[in-house]
Chains A and B, each alone.
Chain A
Amino acid sequence: MKWVDAVIQGLLLGGLYAQYAIGMSLMFGVMRIVNIAHGDLVVLLALIGISLAAAFGLGPGFIMVILIPVGALIGWGLQRGILNHLVGNDPLPSLIATFGLSLALQNLMLTIWQADTRSLDAGPLAIQSVSLAGIQVGVLPLGILAVAALLTWGMHVVLKTTRFGRALRASAADRDAATLSGIDTKVVYAKATAVAVAILGIAAVFQAARTTVSPADGGAQLIYAFEAVIIGGMGSIWGAFAGGLILGVAQVVGSRIDPGWGILIGHLVFLLVLAWRPQGIMSRR
C-alpha cells in the first residue's frame, strides 16, 4: 500500500514537472533553443506572485490570473529582445546567452528578495484531501495534475488545428520555407516563448503553493524540466507530460526508499532512459 501511495504522490508531483516540460519542449521543438533560465523564470514568477499576494492580500487564483499575462509578456520580451537574435543552426550562442541570463537573473532575485524561502498560502486547498480507493490524495496535487493534463491536451489541440499551431510547426520544420509561405517567423517565435512562459506562470503558483521557493531554486527546476522532456521523448507534447509523470514517480518512490535519495533516483532513471531508449519512451522512432 505504501508503494501505491508513493506512485500516486509521484504522479501528482509529476504533474508539476509536466507543466515545466511543456514550455521547454515547445521552445526546443520550434526554435531548437533551450533556455537555461527556464527554471529561473518559474522562480521569478513565483516570487512576484508571492510578493503580490503579500502586498495586496490576493488569493492564489487571482495570482495565477495575473501571472499568466505577466509570464506571456516576459516570454515575448525575452524572445524578441534576446533570443530572436540567436535562432540558428549553432546552438552555442543561445546556450551561453541564456546561461549568462540565468546567472544574472538568479542574483537579481537574490538582491531583491534575499535568500529566504517563501511560499504562497493556498488557503484551505493546501490541506484538503480526497479519498480515492482508500488512499488520501491532496486536492492541490490533484489539481496540479489535472491542470497539467489540460494544458498538454490544449497545446496538442492548438498545434494540430489552429492557424498559430500550423505556423509553429511549419517554422519548426523549415524556417525559410515558412517565411516563403508568408509567416513572420520572428513573431511566431515570440508567441511560442510567450506561451511557454505563460504556462510557467501557472506552474509558478502551484510550486509556490506546494512548497517553499527561493532565488537559487532555478537550476533544479530546469533540470527536472529537461529530464522530463528527455524521458518522454523530444518533439512530443504528450511525451513531455509522460516524462514529467515518470520523473515524479521516480523521485517520490526514491525518497520512500531513503529520504536522501529521492532526487538522485530521479537522475538515475533519467540516465537509464538515456542509456536504453535515448529517443524517449513515447517517441515513435
Chain B
Amino acid sequence: MSASALLTARSLCAGYGDFQALFSIDFDIHPGEVVALIGANGAGKSTLLKTFVGLVTIRDGALDFCGIDVSKTPAHVLVSRGLAMVPEGRRLFRSMTVEDNLRVAADHAGEPAAGSSPWTLQRLYDLFPILAERRAQAVENLSGGQQQMVAIGRALMTQPKLLLCDEISLGLAPKVIAEIYDMLPVIRQAGTAILLVEQDVSLASRNSDRVYCMLEGRITLTGKSSEVTREEITQAYFGVKHEVG
C-alpha cells in the first residue's frame, strides 16, 4: 500500500451485531483518483462505505485515512478531517430548505484540502444553477435529480478530501444521471478524490480510473477500469471462485 494513499483498508472485517458483512477487505484510494466499487445487491458495497465513514463498527483489520488510524474515530470527526459521504437514498433533512441543508454541512466543515479553494455556497450554486433558483424551497419539493444535487452539494460543503458516493444514480432518469456524472470531473479537478458505488457497471467503468468488484462481503476483482475485461467483471460480479489477495 502506497504511503501517499488517502484511504487504506487492510484485512478489514465489519458487521452488524452477530452478522458479519465484510470479510478481510483490502482497499486503497489516492488523492485525485476516481475509484468505482461495483457489485450486486447485498454484496456489501454500502456496508463498506459506512464502515469507512464510521457508521459501522470495525471488528478486525486496519483503516487509515491520511495516514492516521481511524478505526475508532467517531463518524462526525472523520467528516471534519475530510471524509464525506453522499448516502444511499440521499437522506436529506426534510422540512428544511435547500440552503439550510447546505448550511448545516458548512457549519461543521473541516479545513479544505491543501492547495484547493474551498467549496462555498456560491461555488456550489455555480455548479448546480438549478439549486440557486430553489434555495429557499423545502427539499421534499424538489425532483429526484435536484435532491441528488443537494445531497452531493451537502457533502461537498464539508470540504472533503475524499467523497464517497453511494448509488447516486438510483431512481434517476438517464438524462439526469448524465448531468450529475458530468459534474464529477469538476469535483475531481477541485482536488477531491471520489469513490463511486454503482450497480450499473458500464457507468462505473466509464467514469473511473480503477474499479473494485465485491461479492458476498469480499473483494473479487480489482484493476484499471480501462484494462479490466467484460468477462472478468462478469465472473467477479456474479461469482466464480476468484479472490484477489
Residue contact A179 to B91, C-beta cutoff 8 Å: no
Q: Is A177 an interface residue (CB 8 A)?
A: yes
Given A180-B84, A182-B110, A184-B74, verify A166-B104 contact (CB < 8 Å): yes
- In contact, B96 and A170 (Cβ under 8 angstroms): yes
Smallest CB gap from B94: residue in A: A173
> What CA separation (Å) do A163 and B104 show in the bound complex?
7
From A163, A173, A177, A179, contact of B107 by CB (8 A) = A163
Give the CA-CA distance A226 to B87 in the complex, in Å: 36
Q: Tell whether, in the assembled complex, residue A183 and residue B104 are in contact, meaning their CB atoms are under 8 Å apart.
A: yes
Report the separation of the CA atoms of residues A176 and B155 in the bound assembly, to the nearest whole angstrom: 13
How far apart are the CA atoms of A173 and B97 in the complex, in Å? 12
SS of A interface (majority): helix
Give CA–CA (A147, B87) in the complex, Å: 42
Q: Are A180 and B107 in contact (CB under 8 A)?
A: no
- The verdict on A181 contacting B96 (CB below 8 Å), with A166-B107, A174-B91, A176-B55 known, is no
**Would A177 and B92 count as touching, CB distance under 8 A?**
yes
Interface centre among B79, B85, B108 (most CB of A within 10 A): B108
Scan residues 56-85 of chain B and give those whose CB is less than 8 A from a CB of chain A.
74-77, 79-80, 84-85
Name the contact of A181 in the complex, choosing from B77, B94, B108 (C-beta under 8 A): B108
The number of residues on chain B lying at the interface, defined by a beta carbon within 8 Å of a beta carbon of chain A, is 29
B214 close to chain A: CB less than 8 A: no
Contacts of A176 in B (CB 8 A): 55, 87, 91
- A168 nearest CB across to chain B (Å): 10
Contacts of A183 in B (CB 8 A): 76, 104, 108
A167 interface contact, C-beta 8 A: yes
Near B by CB (< 8 A), chain A positions 177-236 give 177-185
B204 is an interface residue with CB less than 8 A from chain A: no
A169 at the interface (CB under 8 A from B): yes
For the complex, count residues of A whose C-beta is within 8 A of B.
17
Asked if B105 CB lies within 8 Å of chain A CBs, one says: yes
Complex Cα–Cα for A88 and B113 (A): 35
Contact partners of A181 in chain B: CB under 8 A: 79, 104-105, 108, 154, 158
Query: Which of B74, B76, B100, B155 sits near A169, CB closer than 8 Å?
Result: B100
Asked if B53 is at the interface (CB within 8 A of a chain A CB), the reply is: yes
Determine if B134 is an interface residue (Cβ-Cβ < 8 Å).
Answer: no
Complex partner residue of B80 from A167, A173, A182, CB under 8 angstroms: A182
In whole Å, how far is A190's beta carbon from the nearest beta carbon of chain B? Answer: 14
Q: Which residues of A contact B76 (CB under 8 A)?
A: 179-180, 182-185
Interchain CA distance A253-B245 in the complex, whole Å: 79
Taking CB atoms, residues of chain A closer than 8 Å to B188 are none
Task: Report the bound CA distance from A166 to B106 in whole Å.
Answer: 11
Note all chain B residues with C-beta closer than 8 A to A169. 93, 95-96, 100
Q: Are A180 and B74 in contact (CB under 8 A)?
A: no
Residues on B with C-beta less than 8 A from A179 are: 55, 75-76, 79
**CB closest residue in chain A, given B108:** A182
Q: CA–CA, A183 to B147, complex, Å?
A: 21
Q: List 17 A-B contacts (CB under 8 A).
A: A163-B107, A166-B104, A167-B104, A170-B93, A170-B104, A173-B93, A173-B94, A174-B94, A179-B76, A180-B55, A182-B79, A182-B108, A183-B76, A183-B104, A184-B76, A184-B77, A185-B76
Interface residues of A (CB under 8 A from B): 163, 166-167, 169-170, 173-174, 176-185
Interface residues of B (CB under 8 A from A): 53, 55, 74-77, 79-80, 84-85, 87, 91-96, 100-101, 103-105, 107-110, 154-155, 158
Task: Name 17 extra pairs, CB < 8 A, besides A179-B79, A180-B79, A180-B91.
Answer: A166-B96, A167-B104, A167-B107, A169-B100, A170-B101, A174-B91, A176-B87, A177-B87, A177-B93, A178-B104, A180-B53, A180-B55, A180-B84, A181-B154, A182-B109, A182-B158, A184-B74
